[in-house]
A and B are shown apart, each in its own frame.
Chain A
Amino acid sequence: MIPLSWYLTLAAALFCIGLYGVLARRNAVAILMGVELMLNAVIINLVAFWRYNQPTVIGGQVFAIIVFAVAAAEAAVGLALIISIYRRRSSVVAEDMNLMKW
């Protein structure tokens, strides 16, 4: 049988990979992909905790579903933003989007 800590470690690793992607990639779409990875890691955590701590209470899965919905919304809005930025400035490089600096 698989200990819970394995799942959590997997989730942590996936999360950190996504984090690296978010921090280091230049392309905004790639950053978004990193965010998706992080969200997946979070959902793994939720489901794993549900399965190991309270498998009879369905709340954990519900939580996961809600996170799914949020992820979908996030992806839609994020990509829309990227596309409109691309329209205005013909660039999807996150570093170029620095109008808010000094």
Chain B
Amino acid sequence: MQLDLLLWLIPVPPVAAFFIIWLFTNRSRGLSHAVAIVSILISWALSLIVFFNVIGLKDFGKTVIGSSVPWLPTGESVFRMGVLADPLTAVMLFFVPLCCTMIFVYSVGYQNYGKPRDPHDKVGEPPHNGVEPMYSRFFAFLSLFAFGMLTLVVADNLLLMFVGWEIMGLCSYLLIGFWYARNYDDPKKITPRGAAVKAFITTRVGDVVMLLGIAYLYFMTTTEEARHILGKAAGTLSFRDILYNAKFLEYLAEQPSVIVGLSVAALIGIFLFIGTVGKSAQFPLHVWLPDAMEGPTPVSAMIHAAAMVSAGVYAVIRMYPLMSAGWHEGGPLTPPMLAMGAIGAFTALFASTIAVTQRDVKKVLAYSTISQLGFMVAALGIGAYVAAAFHLMTHAFFKALLFLGSGSVIHGVEHGAHHSNEHLDPQDMFNMGGLRKKMPITFWTFLIGGFALAGFPFITAGFWSKDEILADAFANNQIVFYVLVISATLTAFYTMRQIALTFFGEPRTHSAEHASENVWTMTYPLIFLAIFALFSGFVGVPKELAELGFNNFGKFVSATLVEKLNTPEFTIVPMIFSIVAALGGLTLGWLVYGMKPLKAGQKDPLTVLGPIYTLLENKYYFDELYEFIFGRPARWIASVLVYQIMDRTIIDGALTLIARFAYFVGHVFKVTEKYTINDPPDWGLAAPIQWMGRTFRVIQTGRVQNYLLVAMLVVLAFGGVYYLRFIGLLR
């Protein structure tokens, strides 16, 4: 069995599942989720087959697996669509289907499968205690989403990748707005549909720019020199042709672009990076991700932790050779890398500061996601390619775990609320507390996830990846390093805060008291992911500490790049820093929230910070800012400029003018006809025409044979004439 064929097949089952559910099985819930889960399992199996085949391969990375078919003839060259597996793809194939599978299974329990339909539930609102009314639709969307993600992973060219990217955007829209009929009491709280629109539009901003970059790159591959370099492959977007072709990359790096001072590679890189900024919610386009938490929690876990946002980072990692074209170890950073470093580091810090003050258990995780993605982007910015990929993987594991855990908590609290008919926000951490005993499995797994996120030394995966990033930052760029250390500390702090508020102390509400552990479909995925959150880090420990684990990851992934990047020599300093940061943050959080747990109704101790607290709690007023900068003017333009001036005055006026003119012409015709044809009975045109008709109509015998006879006579006549000319009797 050829691997490239398997690669082709990987994305197929989910989309098949989507159509099957949509068209056939949507009546039966069990059938629907069976189809979805089986399909994703098939994809997972295929991915694992591919993965374990490729890690055995000799110098894999120099030689990649893949195949492509001619898709669109473009003039003298053909645009080829295809699939590609290099080490990076292999890593993605290892964890993406895994997380997806876990989340699929988890969703079965989360959507209350098996319980009867609650009569109070309305379609389009979250179910109270019964099964989700749109159960099958949910799984259909999830499957479609998995299809988009897997397509993006196995794609071998930017266009196909972009296709998957957009499919995911659509699914994210559909799933965030899954409970489209939901409304809240206070108008300031954003509704799911609003959040969906917000997410869609915000990410569009990035995607458009990204498409611009793709188009620009494509154009650059069709120039004369490009043809000269690429040969037959000219006019392509394939990674194999572009990223594995050092000559072409350096040609791009040298070529000056339309913007003065930027090389083509730099400009394209920046464009693509802006796409990533939109997709993985980097500053300033981060605003959609926290609101995206309005969707069901499995969606938050899948889209906004494991898959979609990491797709953004995956894109930049994938395009890293282009971004870093012309950069060499120790040399000055290229503009895209500078941008990545700056924005990534800033986002990491800024998001973690916001996360410190959030009350909503999911919002905290959302902001931590943003900041972790910032970590990765910053790492890429300073050339820590391997570290970024590594953190991408581990983060996917523990963040998916955390989200599912939080979902489990929320579900439990909702259950409690249903039990003690109490009306409260089941996501607010200040309504929880003391769930440690109520839901032990959730607690322990959440604890593992949290420690991994905080980077608890040596035993969690997050530690190794984050430490690697810090090490590279320390070696390459001190500023980034310190920023990241601070945000790491904050990360540990708010993680502890979250754990303490949620699980320790006494229940602060009846709901929390009556909360209970969830069904196995929800807990088993937690356990499974917890294992990975713990041990997936040991594939990438620094080789100086090799006795603690393995060091294959770096070698494996860095084989993707054309020119070797030398990992910085190991120094103990950054590791000490990261250990201190993690432990310090955790202990600080424990001191503030853990020692004396909050009673019911007690305020957050951090309010002592005063205005800063409110500033952070309102997320630096970014939504309001955007509303003021973009929202109002847009509405003003729409209402005044477009509607009143354009439509009413110009277009309608022109139309009226044309109508008037046509009316006038018609009138002229009418008058002329009246005085030449109709009115004068004797000399008008009507009479003679009538007479002619009466005279000549006789030839219309209506008998087909007459007509044919006449036709034959004419034919004969012409034939005779031609014959006479032929024999020369006629000139």
Contact = CB atoms under 8 A, between A and B. Distances in A.
Contacts of B603: none
A70 to B, nearest CB: 19
A99 B709 contact: no
Contact of B712 (A19, A94, A95, A98): A19
Nearest to A26: B705
Contacts of B702: 97-102
Contacts of A98: 701-703
A24 B704 CA distance: 11
Contacts of A99: 702
Given A19-B712, A23-B712, A100 B705 contact: no
A22 interface: yes
B708 interface: yes
B697 interface: yes
Interface in B696-731: 697-698, 700-705, 708-709, 712
B691 to A, nearest CB: 14
Give the most central of A23, A24, A97, A102: most B CB within 10 Å. Answer: A102
A102 B702 CA distance: 8
Interface string B679-705: 000000000000000000110111111
Contacts of B701: 98, 101
A33 to B, nearest CB: 14
A22 B712 CA distance: 12
Contacts of B704: 94, 97
Contacts of B703: 94-95, 97-98, 101
A100 B700 CA distance: 8
Interface in A58-102: 94-95, 97-102
Contacts of A24: 705
Interface residues of A, number: 13
Interface in B172-211: none
Contact of B697 (A19, A23, A94, A102): A102
A55 B705 CA distance: 38
Nearest to A101: B702
Contact of A22 (B697, B698, B700, B708): B708
Interface of B is mostly: helix
Contacts of A31: 705
A31 B709 CA distance: 13
Nearest to A99: B702
A96 to B, nearest CB: 9
Contacts of B697: 102
A44 to B, nearest CB: 20
B450 to A, nearest CB: 78
A23 B700 contact: no
Given A94-B704, A95-B703, A102 B698 contact: yes
B705 A94 contact: yes
Nearest to B694: A102
Nearest to B709: A23
Contact of B700 (A94, A95, A97, A101): A101
A90 B449 CA distance: 91
A19 B701 CA distance: 20
Contact of B705 (A22, A101, A102): A22
Contacts of A22: 705, 708
Nearest to B704: A94
Contacts of B712: 19, 23
Interface in A16-54: 19, 22-24, 31
A97 B703 CA distance: 7
Most central of B698, B700, B703 by chain A CB within 10 Å: B703
Nearest to B696: A102
B198 to A, nearest CB: 63
A70 B78 CA distance: 42
B190 to A, nearest CB: 67
A31 B705 CA distance: 9
A79 B708 CA distance: 19
B586 to A, nearest CB: 86
A9 B700 CA distance: 35
Interface string B142-157: 0000000000000000
A61 B697 CA distance: 46
B652 to A, nearest CB: 50
Nearest to B693: A102
Contacts of A97: 702-704
B698 A23 contact: no
A99 B702 CA distance: 6
A23 B708 CA distance: 7
A37 to B, nearest CB: 15
A92 B698 CA distance: 24
Contacts of A102: 697-698, 700, 702
A99 B700 CA distance: 10
A18 to B, nearest CB: 12
A9 to B, nearest CB: 16
B695 to A, nearest CB: 11
A50 B709 CA distance: 31
Nearest to A95: B703
Contacts of B698: 102
Nearest to A31: B705
A95 to B, nearest CB: 6
A94 B709 CA distance: 14
A15 to B, nearest CB: 12
A53 to B, nearest CB: 22
A1 B188 CA distance: 103
B353 to A, nearest CB: 81
A27 to B, nearest CB: 12
A8 to B, nearest CB: 16
B233 to A, nearest CB: 43
A97 B704 CA distance: 9
A99 B705 CA distance: 14
Given A23-B705, A95-B705, A98-B702, 17 more contacts: A22-B705, A22-B708, A23-B708, A23-B709, A23-B712, A24-B705, A94-B703, A94-B704, A94-B705, A95-B703, A97-B702, A97-B703, A100-B700, A102-B697, A102-B698, A102-B700, A102-B702
Closest 3 CB pairs between A and B? A101-B702, A98-B702, A102-B697
5 contacts: A19-B712, A98-B701, A100-B702, A101-B701, A102-B702
Interface of A: 19, 22-24, 31, 94-95, 97-102
